[in-house]
Amino acid sequence: MKIVDQGQQGHQEEGLHRRLATWQLTMIAIGGAIGVGLFLGSAVTIQIAGPAVLISYIVGAIVAMIMGYALAEMVSAHPVAGSFGIYADKYVSPWAGFTVRLTYWFAQTVAIGAEVTAVGLYFGYWLPSVPSWVWIMGSSALVLAANAANVKTFGTLESWLAMIKVLAIAAFVVVGGALIIGIGRLGRPPIGLSNLTAHGGFLPHGWTGVWLALTLVITSYMGIEGIAVSAGEAEHPEESVPRALRSTIVRLIVLYLLATFVIVTVTPWPTVAQTSGELSGSPFVKVFAEIGIPFAGGIMNFVVISAALSSVNTNLYFSTRMIFSLSRAGYAPALFGRVDPRGVPLQALWASGAGMVAAIVFALKGQQGFLLFYGTAVAAMFFVWIAILVTHIRFRQTLPLTSVAGIAVILALAASTPFVNGLEWTVPLFLVWLALTSVFYFLR
């Protein structure tokens, strides 16, 4: 097994402060992974697969575990801030190291634009007369300020924001479970499990629906790889980062499966699918309303806003560290590799903030154009996970069957995107991006 040169590793980490505890690392990863895709977008995947979307989440969890455990093994040996970008550079090729880091930065920046634009729309639920750009600017300033603080302050804030999401999902599962078995329904009979098979069966769209839903479901797990990006600022990273990676995967699997099970059991899936585009029609809101909780819409709107802010906060942190890593590796201007006395790479943060502004402008210009932009980011994350697994094979200097299987599944999912509404141009547009980054790499 190859070992990272200690002098090079020290240069990569110089100036960063190791202040993130294991608990904070776990919550940061959960904050990056659980976004509005679960709270609102779950209705889209249910529309594609029906109740059988549960199988999609199980398969997605298996792929996520393969990737996460492979990455944890490499982080144990090389706990550096650039993580899988540096590993690809060392074990595959400098081109791979450059493209995977720049691609990850691009994907996170687009996700930031999507989430912060959504915040503006969600505040319209309470104050529709206030232009959305007011809330977009306010939330952008908030997360930029949080990321400009020292890493311990960032970790504390993100931990609490992520905790709100976890508690909301836990409450949702408890309330849903009570409805299923008949507790708190004012004398009405329990819902039971009839909704799992009552509307076209458990597989209303067959196994094709399960597979096509997986192309979107797997994105719910994307974000866990970000724990490795924080390795340069973690306490005892060779132990804490792999531990946080593994525990995060387990927690997400439990949360996703339980929450999705409650949705398709309590609410007839065709009803969820028909209202997937409405905030008030969120599956989470429906379950709270079913038991008669006052102000259910407002409660869930607050949760969704905190979920979006948490994702923006975490993704901005990840993208900033990737630009920092590119600079320290000599692939980006040296100023992006500088840190202030508090250990914060401010110039890299402003660069990622500029990308955030561009993504927001794209989002405000028109939904169709932004969907193309966002679809490209989905394919970008497919590329990042494939790169991690390829790097793991080279790292092991053997042919681990799990990594090979993970690569095969992700490639098959990418090939299936033309058959999913909204993702038809995902792969072609990403190939354009990959070509442009490759040209830039060879001409720089």
Domain locations in the chain? 26-443
Task: Please give the Cα distance from 125 to 304 (Å, whole number).
Answer: 11
Q: Give residue 160's pLDDT.
A: 80
Would you report the helix, strand and coil content of the chain in percent, each value rounded to 5? 75, 0, 25
Name the class of domain 26-443.
mainly alpha
Q: Give residue 383's pLDDT.
A: 94
Would you say 363 and 117 are in contact if contact means Cβ atoms under 8 Å apart?
Answer: yes
Q: What are the tens digits of pLDDT across the range 164-181?
A: 888 888 888 888 888 888
| Burial bucket for residue 364 (CB in 10 Å: 0-12, 13-18, 19+) | middle
pTM of the model: 0.84
Q: Give residue 276's pLDDT.
A: 41
Flag residues of the chain having pLDDT under 50.
Answer: 1-11, 15, 17, 274-281
Q: Give residue 194's pLDDT.
A: 87
Q: Give residue 373's pLDDT.
A: 64
Q: Give residue 401's pLDDT.
A: 92
Q: Output the furthest CA–CA distance in the chain (Å, rounded).
A: 72
Task: Please give the Cα distance from 218 to 29 (Å, whole number).
Answer: 15
Q: Give residue 306's pLDDT.
A: 80
Characterise 223 by phi-psi region: left (phi > 0), alpha (psi -120 to 50), beta (else).
Answer: left
CB atoms within 10 A of CB 367: 9
Using the structure block, give the residue that is written with the tokens 């709107």. 301
Complete DSSP assignment for 258-281: HHHHHHHHHS-HHHHHHTTT-STT
Q: What is the separation of C-alpha 420 from the centre of its chain, rounded to a whole number of angstroms?
A: 20
